[in-house]
Amino acid sequence: MSNDANTTRAVTSSPREFHFTAADFERVRKLIYDRAGIALAPIKQDMVYSRLARRLRAHGYTTFSEYLAHLERGDEQEWETFTNSLTTNLTSFFREAHHFPILAQQMMKSKDRPFRIWCSAASTGEEPYTLAITACEAFKTLDPPVTIFASDIDTNVLATAGRGVYPEERIEKLDPERLRKFFLKGAGAQEGYVRIRPELQKLVTFTRVNLLDARWPLQGPFDALFCRNVMIYFDKPTQYEILKKFKPLLREEGRLYAGHSESFLHAADLFRSLGRTVYERADSKR
């Protein structure tokens, strides 16, 4: 039996509400790769089905083939929803905490001018607001000379980030002093929720960016660029192309912060490691 036949059996072996074949799955893989650079692994079949099934219900389709044909006819609003459905957004405040003391030290070396950061995978906002907290603590003020641009491909999570309201369990591991200084109970947030202080929200500008777009609505130079736990969804050639576009946006002494499971050895001509998933431009003369 061919591999395709085996895959078809794997995809359709259990009863499902909608007809979903191996060819449909491969079609989804190509569409999301072409649109967002995301390389879906073969084991993501069930995830794709569960996340897109709701879109078939919304449009009244009975097969994935019908839905994908609708998508390919050029419904831009549905393209956005399709992309949002297949992106994964895992984040938390002070995730991979070792980066933030390094960032604070970097900030304090740039007191002669505003410090600019691009957080390129903002998700629901925990990371950019962590950057804002780090800036406030480094400069000992709620009005530090720091500007944070935060982007994501998913418009739904950006809307959440812009509101800056979180369930209390999302902050329960934070230091009590940080909670007191940087979060508000009440202030428009319902019971069981907290709101980021407005001073922090003013430090962050949220915008949608697809890292695969030919042009990004951002201009450098940046002192720090956070792209953590994003590259794992791209293949190596796509990673390289994104890193090639990152490089001229960073100051020569700038820093690129990556996720704990990411390595850019394949782009050694662009960036060199400083250890602990922090990189500098390969042409830096530090």
Per-residue pLDDT of 141-164, as tens digits, reads 999 999 999 999 988 899 999 999
Residues of the chain with pLDDT under 70: 1-14, 111, 186-189, 286
Tell me what pLDDT residue 10 has. Answer: 42
pLDDT digits (tens, 9 = 90+) for 222-262: 999 999 988 988 899 999 999 999 999 999 999 999 998 88
Structural domains of the chain sorted by starting position, each given as residue range(s) with its CATH number in brackets: 3-86 (1.10.155.10), 99-281 (3.40.50.150)
Confidence at residue 207, expressed as pLDDT on a 0 to 100 scale = 96
Element (H, E) at 137: helix 126-139
pTM over 0.95: no
Look at the alpha carbons of 211, 212, 217, 221 in this order and tell me if their dihedral is positive or negative: positive
Which DSSP category does 264 fall into?
-
CA 122/CA 90 separation, integer angstroms: 10
Structural contact between residues 282 and 265, judged by C-beta atoms closer than 8 angstroms:
no
> Whose CA is closest to 205, among 157, 124, 149?
149
Catalytic center residues: 51, 152
Q: Helices marked H in the chain — which ranges?
A: 3-12, 22-36, 45-59, 64-72, 76-86, 99-108, 126-139, 155-163, 176-182, 198-201, 236-246
Contact of 36 with 212, CB cutoff 8 Å:
yes
- Predicted confidence at residue 172, as pLDDT, reads 86
Q: What is the pLDDT of residue 104?
A: 97
